[in-house]
Structure 1
Amino acid sequence: MSTPAVEGVWSARFVWVTLGALALIFLAAIQSLAVTTVMPVVSDDLSGAALYAVAFSGTLAASVVGMVAAGAWCDRGGVLAPLTTAVVLFVLGLLLAGAAPTMEILVAGRLLQGLGTGGETVALYVVVARVYPAALHGRIFAAFSAAWVVPSLIGPFLAGAVAEFLHWRWVFFGVAALTVGAFAMVVARLHALPLGTDHPSSARVAPRLALAAIVAVAALVLSLSGGLSTWAWIVVAVSGTIIALAVRPLLPPRTLAAARGLPSVVLMRGLIAGALFGAEVYVPYLLIDQYGFSPTWAGLGLTVAALAWAGAAEVQGRIGDRLGNVRISVFGVTMLLAATAAALTTALWHLHPAILICGWALAGAGMGLMYPRLTVLTLSYSTPRDQGFNSSALAISDALGSAVTIAVMGLVFTGLSASGSGFPAVFAIAAALALLALAPGLRLGRVEEGGEDQFSARPSRQ
């Protein structure tokens, strides 16, 4: 007896949700890359050099609160209201930043953007869980990964052209207008779909929001510790301890102990995010500083990695179940480790820059295999009662893994730059994190898309 064919993500049933969701992801990526490009111009125009770092770190920190709020809201009922609220906050933040007369107002707009993007990410994960059949989860998350590729190719150039020929404010205003249109595609279809849950969560939300706020503040302080010179490492230790204690109730039980199943999924996401995004900050920096590349050409390594990420994500979406979680973990970690090792040896022995650029493509390929697979596994381990909690936990691990690693790498790089060991040191940290990720990677369980874990019962959450 043959199994009925499953509709694709572009079938008539799903096409408008797919288009709208991908457009929201695309615009979030454009906004992130565009702001990075134009922020030096913004800072100069608003005399805001002192708040330059906060304009980035504040967005990341605020996103943690948005993630927790959206996750809790989704678990208590439908997904349309939290998604709408997140998009509204994102758009309001863009409008406030675009109209900002001072850097302080712009930072306030960036904080609103962080709340919106954090909530939007989690809400879209829950949309995938409740709209698409489990067999399509790998495909839709592969499409999400691909939605970041075009922005990585055209985002910086487009933002620079807008800032040069119009004004930097239109970078914010333009994305705001397009986001409204993209959301209209999603909301028109979601209104007609049953997105609620028959067993809403009754977990208390206020304590989780308070913990999220504590984590956000500690992450923000951690990101600013580089300017404290003598006290920097003390601030890092205190902030890191606060984050570790406050984040535990926001993650599945025993996540930090790499327990089998969902806890290892969430932990692995944070480790590989820290390894890649931490090192990626220094890839163009190394090419500019030691090889004389222009900023445009220095981004070549990141562009190649983005293309490799999209290609590998498509492979994972098609044959992820046949590869299996252990193979994906081993292949992905090996490629990420090889990429960071190539960066380390290039920086240490001043090898040809082609080794770094080509090697960094392996990082993109490895992440393309692992990243969407971990998201698929998170939803497979979830029920409608805890899809929001588990999705927010994955996003929090991602954000904190990146934020903490970037902060520590910044301190190490600053401390060792005078001796010429800064670049090798940060790439060594990334390689160590990639290798460490193999431990939870081997403990993901064998749950398939829409199936049960064959090793252990689904973890309960506290």
Structure 2
Amino acid sequence: RAYPASVTPRMIALVSSAWVVPGLVGPALAGWVTDTIDWRWVFLGIVPPVLLMGIAVYPQLARLGPAQRAAVPLRADGRRALDAIRLALGSTLLVGALTVGLPLAPVLAVVGAWLAIGALRHLLPTGTLLLRRGRPAVVSVVFVIAFAFFGTEAFVPLTVVDVRGGSVTLGGLALSAAAVTWTIGSWVQARAAAAGIRRTLVTSGAGLIGAGITITALVLIPQMPVLVVAIGWAVAGLGMGLAYSMLALMILETAAPGEEGYSSSALQLMFTLGTAFGAGVGGAIVAVADAGTIPLVSAIGLIDVLMVAMAIVAVAVSLRVPRRPSDRPGVVRARQGAPAMPMERP
């Protein structure tokens, strides 16, 4: 709300750029701390900076004042809070079902799915779960790319260290490479936002995620150099920068006045769920390897195949997102000092 619509793509890219320094320094530093001190200090060390930044940014946010009144009344806060609790409980049961055996797993899965799907129907744009064209597809793609990307990334250090015998620091460097290319992809999005190739950028980004995971999986071949994981993950990071930044722009553009927060929260919700379920499914597969049922290298390979398949799904669903801004009537975004920006209905 603080910026005109014309600079929104650049602001989204700028937010992504804020990840560069932490993305470069963080994983490598965390690897060094783990190797030389103790992994617990990785988590303890981030608490003071987070608290300080929260204190610093609060006065600036308070100056924005209340949001515009939504054109269409939103659900009561109490009901939405209840839906959020149902979703949290359902998601926990679903992830828990991946870690327990019979006969409890099917029960947890069914109950968890019932709770989660019922809550999501109220928390997401209508048609999201059905992959409906337009705005719902935008939110759906976010879930799938987050599932694929973070479902792989969670096990990149494990692959480097336990499968190939590399250091934790090297695994962290691979994650740093993705942080840089993610930012590059975001800035490409900012420059191409007005070029009428928005759907193309999302589709290309999803394809690059799949290609990056495929390249990363080559590290499982003993004859391949370990550094191939950094190359592959850099490609995947570029894909995320292109796709996610453009999807974030689309969801803001299609938000009605006063509903920017609701739309952004729906996007972030699916991003978080995709991350959690991707890592959860991968963790369940690794747990099978830990039990001695299959070798770890086979488990990581199975994860990579699954995540490539999810990236292919993302490519398919991305064909249902809005192609470009349109002058035809539709859902618009209107901000103070910013013109309305209708989106076409493909």
Supply the distance in 1 between the matched residues of 2:179 and 2:17 (Cα, whole angstroms): 8
Q: For 1:426 and 1:237, how far apart are their aligned partners in 2?
A: 23
1:294 is matched with 167
CA distance, structure 1, for counterparts of residue 238 and residue 253 of structure 2: 23
The aligned residue for residue 301 of structure 2 is 424
Secondary structure, counterpart of 1:196 in structure 2: coil
Deviates most, 150-159 or 440-449: 150-159
Runs of 5+ in structure 1 lacking a partner?
Answer: 1-129, 457-462
Distance change (3 Å), C-alpha of 1:206 and 1:217:
same
User: Which of 220, 231, 237 is the equivalent residue of 2:92?
Assistant: 220
1:255 is aligned to 2:128: yes
2:190 aligns to what?
A: 317
Quick check: 1:288–1:294 contact (8 Å CA) kept in 2?
A: yes
Q: Is the 8 A contact 1:211 1:246 kept in 2?
A: yes
Q: Does 1:138 align with 2:9?
A: yes
In the alignment, which residue of structure 1 is the partner of 2:329? none
Q: What does 1:367-406 correspond to in 2, within 5 Å?
A: 367-406=240-279
The change in CA–CA distance for 1:299 and 1:252 in structure 2 (over 3 A counts) is same
Paired residue secondary structure (1:373): helix
2:15 maps to amino acid? F
Aligned residues between the structures: 321
Q: Counterpart in 1 of 2:50?
A: 175
2:344 is matched with 454
Counterpart residue number, 1:210: 82
Instruction: Decide whether the 8 Å contact of 2:90 with 2:114 is kept in 1.
Output: no
Which residue identity does 1:439 align to in structure 2? A
1:218-274 CA distance string (max 9 Å, x none): 223334445534456423454234322321221111111111110000000010011
* Contact kept in structure 2, 1:380 and 1:447, CA below 8 Å: no
The two structures, once aligned, show a CA RMSD in angstroms of 2.6
Q: 1:337 to 1:169 in 2, by over 3 A?
A: closer
Task: Tell me the distance in 2 between the aligned counterparts of 1:382 and 1:196.
Answer: 12
- Structure whose residues are more often helix by fraction: 1
> 147, 151, 154: which is aligned to 2:22?
151
Distance (Å, rounded) in 1 between the aligned partners of 2:45 and 2:215 = 39
Determine the structure 1 residue equivalent to 2:330.
none
Query: Separation in 1 of the partners of 2:61 and 2:123?
Result: 28
The equivalent residue for 1:326 is 199
Contact 2:70 2:259 in 1 (8 A): no
Alignment equivalent of 2:140, drawn from 267, 275, 293: 267
Is the 2:185–2:239 Cα contact (8 Å) retained in structure 1?
Answer: yes
Mapped partners of 2:70, 2:114: distance in 1:
38
Q: Give matches, 1:35-50, under 5 Å.
A: none
Contact map agreement 1:271 1:433 (CA 8 A) in 2: yes
**Aligned-partner SS, 1:353:** coil
**CA deviation string 1:403-439 (max 9, x = no partner):** 1222122112222453221001111111111110112
- Identify the residue that residue 184 of structure 1 maps to in structure 2: 59
1:274–1:401 CA contact under 8 A, matched in 2: yes
Question: Contact (CA 8 Å) 2:92, 2:112: kept in 1 or not?
Answer: no
CA gap of 1:241–1:437, structure 2 versus 1, over 3 A, is farther
- Residue 241 (structure 2) pairs with residue 351 (structure 1): no
Q: 1:306 aligns with which of 167, 179, 190?
A: 179
Q: Secondary structure at the match of 2:287?
A: helix
Is 2:98–2:280's contact at 8 Å kept on the other side of the alignment?
yes
- Residue 337 of structure 2: aligned partner: none
- Contact kept? 2:157, 2:168, Cα under 8 Å: yes
Contact 2:126 2:136 in 1 (8 A): yes
**Rounded Cα–Cα distance in structure 2 between residues aligned with 1:301 and 1:249:** 38
Shift of 1:174: 4.2
In the superposition, the TM-score normalised over structure 2's length comes to 0.84
Q: Deviations over 1:36-89 (max 9, x none)?
A: xxxxxxxxxxxxxxxxxxxxxxxxxxxxxxxxxxxxxxxxxxxxxxxxxxxxxx
Q: Is there any run of 5+ residues in structure 2 with no aligned partner, and where?
A: 326-332, 334-339
Deviation per residue, 1:152-196 (Å, 9 max, x gap): 2223528949x88xx875642343133212333443x535xx743
Q: Evaluate the alpha carbon distance shift between residue 241 and residue 355 of structure 1 in structure 2; reply closer, same or farther with a 3 A threshold.
A: farther
AA of the residue aligned to 2:64: L
Q: What is the percentage of aligned positions where both structures have the same residue?
A: 28
CA 1:446/1:326 → structure 2, altered by over 3 Å: closer, same or farther? closer
User: Judging changes above 3 Å, is the alpha-carbon distance between structure 1 residues 177 and 199 closer, same or farther for their aligned structure 2 residues?
Assistant: same
Residue 200 of structure 2: SS of its match in structure 1? helix
- Higher RCO (CA < 8 A, seq sep 6+): 2
